[in-house]
Structure formats: structure tokens, C-alpha cells
Amino acid sequence: MAKKSPVHFPGIDAIAYEGAQSDNALAFHHYNPEEVFDGKTMAQHMRFSIAYWHAFRGTGSDPFGPGTIVRPWESGKDPVSIAKVRLDAAFEFFQKIRAPFYCFHDRDIAPEGSTLAESNKNLDAVVAHAKQLQQATGVKLLWGTANLFSNPRYMRGASTNPDAHVFAYAAAQVKKAMDVTKELGGENYVFWGGREGYETLLNTNLKREQDHLAAFLHLAVDYARSINFKGQFLIEPKPKEPTKHQYDFDVASGIAFLRTYGLEKYFKFNIETNHATLAGHTFQHEIEVAAAQGLLGSIDANAGDPLLGWDTDQFNTDVRELTLAMISILRAGGLGSGGFNFDAKLRRPSTDLDDLFHAHIGGMDAYALAFKLARRILAEGKFEQFVNERYASYDAGFGRDIEMGRANFRSLEKLVLTKLGEPTQRSGKQEYLENLLMRYLHG
């Protein structure tokens, strides 16, 4: 007799697109997965992904108190069978929220054992189950990663740990995480250096730690090649938290790091909104810096709180911020094998099952709206035209010579002395442009 699968989200059907006028809070108002733009559905453009660690391992705990969020499926006889039932609930959610992808850390989906061998065995059992669920539902793995920051062994870092033993352990763990990512058809593999940084330089050899981080990434590249893993490697920069200073501080320092160590061919960036703001940048800034070098890979979609100094991982409904981000992403040609992964969690008092739906509906709708606005803005080309005209002096004459490397200090001095004289003042027109953007956003 076929086993009837339990319904983990009773009373909630698959979320439907009902349009902006609908009053139904459990419906999409802007995200219509089937709507076609340039021959591709919205689902294919957005490639939304659910972050397993927040959506299915988040309990609402914070440094001042334990979890508040209790899920009915979190019971069972042993950790591995609980992990499998949790996965069933997760896949029901992925389908109902219409997310084509999910992402995980090794330790989110399967419990850590008392030895590495036991951890690997647990992972294999849960991964076999995940593979069946992926096949049955069509939900795919956007990326996998290894948790190299929770276990106390990593308190002083993983690949940047002063103890080579910990480096070795981290290598073994990443090897396995790459194996299972490949097994599940993961399209990318992420490196977020949670504890790859320092608390104080009094006990730290910064140069040696950076060398070790680079050595580790080279070993990962070599291993991927040896198992024929074709997924894109992604670095996820973050300036701080949990460490005081993290080596992958932001995209710009990440690019310098990759180039210094000859890694730039193998990595792109996974840009997280809240990490950008922690680094003192806008989200759009980080996207532009990566895109300028052809290194834009994927997005961890969330938002911080402007009044708080840590990674609050909130769902982002700031359509203005997202529209600016989408302009840069679309101009760069999209995310390729990347997607928009909701690295965002419910607030501690948001304890209902349907809160998980409201949260993701808001995130998806805000991005969908931003996508449509950005497309309109780009199609009309007003900002682009303004920017092109702003740089027009480089399109011909001595400006062109500068860009082509045909000018030098002597020739430019001569030009100014004999012909050009003082430059004419030209306005940057920021207020005019802000108002133009407001008209797109609010009519």
C-alpha cells in the first residue's frame, strides 16, 4: 500500500498569482511564475531559492534567549529520521511557495555525528532522500556549502585556523560537501568565510592566514576538477560577524584577493544585501563592482535594519533598493547559473506556519515588481542616455585618445595650454534623476 505523505502545511494551497488588486494575502500580487518576458518565464528569470538554514532550521533563538518557533514535524525517533521528515516538509513548502530552487549547508540538512565518518554517513542517508524528493518535485539545488563556523572546532577559523589539523578537517568536510552538491546536481558551490578572519592582531599572522585561505580555495578548485564538478564556485563576502574582521570583506577586496592568488578564473561572487550594507556599501554598489569585472554570480536576497549593526537577515520589501539592484543585474546580463536565494529569516515573534509564506511572498513580490520596473527603465533608456551623454567627451577627439592610450601628459598639457583652457561647469543633475526614478516607482 502506498504510504500517504502527511501534509505539513494544512490549509495552505500552492500560492497563486492573483494580481496587484487581489486582497488575498496568501497570493502573489506581482510574481507570476508563468509570465513570459523575452521568451523566458518569470520563474526562469528569477530562479528563486529557499535557504534551508533559515526556513527549516531557524528557531528564532538569539543571544538573549532560546528559540520560539516550534514546528510540528520536528519530532521523531532519531536525528536522521527527523531530518528526513523535515526535508519532506521543506519540499512541500518549496512547491507551495513555487520556488524552483533551494540551498543548504551540509549540517543544515543532516545532523553532525560524533566522528567525521558518522557525519558523512548521516549526510549520505539524508542526501539520498533529498535526491528522491528533487526527482519527484522538480525542485533543484541552487547551491550547496559547508558549515565551517558552528562547531567549536572552528572557533579560530577553518582554513585560516592557526592549527593545521583544523585546516585538514575543514578540507575533509568541504570535500564531502562538494561530493553531495554534485550528487544533487547543485548548480553552484558557495564559500562564505564566517570565521575566516580575526578577533585581534595580537595573536594573528594575517599574511599567513590569507595564504592558507588561498591554498584552501586552490585545493577546492583542484578537487572539483578531479570529480568533474561543473558548478560555479562563489565567494560570499561579508566584512564582519561573527569575527571582528573577515578577509572576504567586500567584493572589491575579494577581487584583489582572488587576483593576488590566481583564483579569479574559478570564482564569482554571491552578493548578500545585508553584507553589502555592513561593509558600508549599497547593495547596488556591490553588484556593480562585481559586474564591472564579469564576476557577478548570485544573490543572497535579504535586508538589514539601518539602525542595527549586524546581519539581521530580513526579507526585503524595499522596492526602490531592489529596482536599482535589478537595473544593474539586468544590465550585466543576469545571474547565469545563480539565482535569488532568500537568506532571510522570520522575526523571533513570527511563530505561525503561515508567517513563512507571508515572508517569502513579500520577498518574491518585491523582486518581481523590481524586475518589471527595471525592465521598463532600461527599455526607455532615459538614465542610460543621460549617462552616455555625461561621458560623451571621451567618445571622440582627445577624450577618445585618452581611452585608447594615445594621449600622454605632454600632449594633454599642450592641449590645455594652447586650446582648451578652463573646463565648462556641468551639472550632475542628481535631483532631476532622483525625481525621474520616483516617477517610475510611484507613477
Give least dist CB 270 to Ni ion, A: 7
Q: Which of residues 262-291 bind ligand XLS (CB under 6 A)?
A: 272
Q: Which of residues 3-32 bind ligand XLS (CB under 6 A)?
A: none
Should residue 345 be labelled a site residue for ligand XLS when binding is judged by CB under 6 A?
A: no
Distances in Å between the Cα of 158 and the Cα atoms of 148, 219, 260, 298 are 6, 14, 21, 23
Should residue 300 be labelled a site residue for ligand XLS when binding is judged by CB under 6 A?
A: yes
Q: In terms of Cα–Cα distance, which of 178, 159, 77 is closest to 120? A: 178
Q: Which of residues 263-282 bind Ni ion (CB under 5 A)?
A: 272
Should residue 106 be labelled a site residue for ligand XLS when binding is judged by CB under 6 A?
A: no
Q: Please identify which of the residues 108, 248, 300, 343 carries the catalytic annotation.
A: 108
CA distance 40 to 32: 12
| Binding-site partner at residue 145 among ligand XLS, Ni ion, none, CB < 5 to 8 Å by type | ligand XLS
- Cell numbers found for residue 206: 594575517
Count of all residues that appear for the chain in the document:
443
- Cell numbers found for residue 320: 526602490
CA distance 335 to 206: 33
Nearer to ligand XLS, 190 or 356 (CB): 190
Contacts of residue 65, defined as CB under 8 A and 6 or more positions apart, other chains included, come to 348
Active site residue 343: no
Nearer to Ni ion, 174 or 373 (CB): 174
CA distance 20 to 292: 35
CA distance 156 to 199: 9
Phi, psi of 201 (to 5 degrees): -75, -10
Site for Ni ion (CB under 5 A): which residue of 250, 311, 321, 365? 311
Site for ligand XLS (CB under 6 A): which residue of 28, 56, 192, 233? 192
Give least dist CB 311 to ligand XLS, A: 5
Nearer to ligand XLS, 8 or 238 (CB): 238
Q: Which positions from 145 to 164 touch ligand XLS by CB under 6 A, shown as an x/- string?
A: x-------------------
Cβ(238)–Cβ(278) below 8 Å: yes
Stretch that binds Ni ion, among 9-17, 85-93, 160-168, 297-305 (CB under 5 A): 297-305
- At 403, is the secondary structure helix, strand, or coil? helix
Helices (H) and strands (E) in the chain, counts: 16, 14
Site for ligand XLS (CB under 6 A): which residue of 296, 343, 344, 365? 343
Should residue 236 be labelled a site residue for ligand XLS when binding is judged by CB under 6 A?
A: yes
- Cell numbers found for residue 296: 557577478
Active site residue 105: yes
Which residues are paired to 48 by β-bridges?
A: 340
**Placement of cell 574559478 in the chain:** 266
Nearer to ligand XLS, 190 or 322 (CB): 190
Q: Please identify which of the residues 29, 30, 54, 105 carries the catalytic annotation.
A: 105
Contacts of residue 354, defined as CB under 8 A and 6 or more positions apart, other chains included, come to 12, 26
Should residue 300 be labelled a site residue for Ni ion when binding is judged by CB under 5 A?
A: yes
Should residue 187 be labelled a site residue for ligand XLS when binding is judged by CB under 6 A?
A: no
Should residue 243 be labelled a site residue for ligand XLS when binding is judged by CB under 6 A?
A: no
Which residues are paired to 198 by β-bridges?
A: 245
| Binding-site partner at residue 106 among ligand XLS, Ni ion, none, CB < 5 to 8 Å by type | none
Q: Which of residues 332-391 bind Ni ion (CB under 5 A)?
A: 343
Cβ(235)–Cβ(188) below 8 Å: no
| Binding-site partner at residue 92 among Ni ion, ligand XLS, none, CB < 5 to 8 Å by type | none
Distances in Å between the Cα of 37 and the Cα atoms of 31, 273, 362, 407, 442 are 12, 25, 21, 44, 22
Site for ligand XLS (CB under 6 A): which residue of 311, 342, 368, 371? 311
Taking residue 114's Cβ as centre, other Cβ atoms within 10 Å add up to: 7
Phi, psi of 26 (to 5 degrees): -95, 50
Q: In terms of Cα–Cα distance, which of 81, 208, 236, 232 is closest to 148? A: 236
Nearer to ligand XLS, 92 or 272 (CB): 272
- At 185, is the secondary structure helix, strand, or coil? coil
Stretch that binds Ni ion, among 38-46, 295-303, 316-324, 375-383 (CB under 5 A): 295-303
Give least dist CB 192 to ligand XLS, A: 4
Q: How many residues bind ligand XLS (CB under 6 A)?
A: 10
Q: Which residues are catalytic?
A: 105, 108
Q: Which residues bind Ni ion (CB under 5 A)?
A: 272, 300, 311, 343
Residues that bind ligand XLS (CB under 6 A): 105, 145, 190, 192, 236, 238, 272, 300, 311, 343
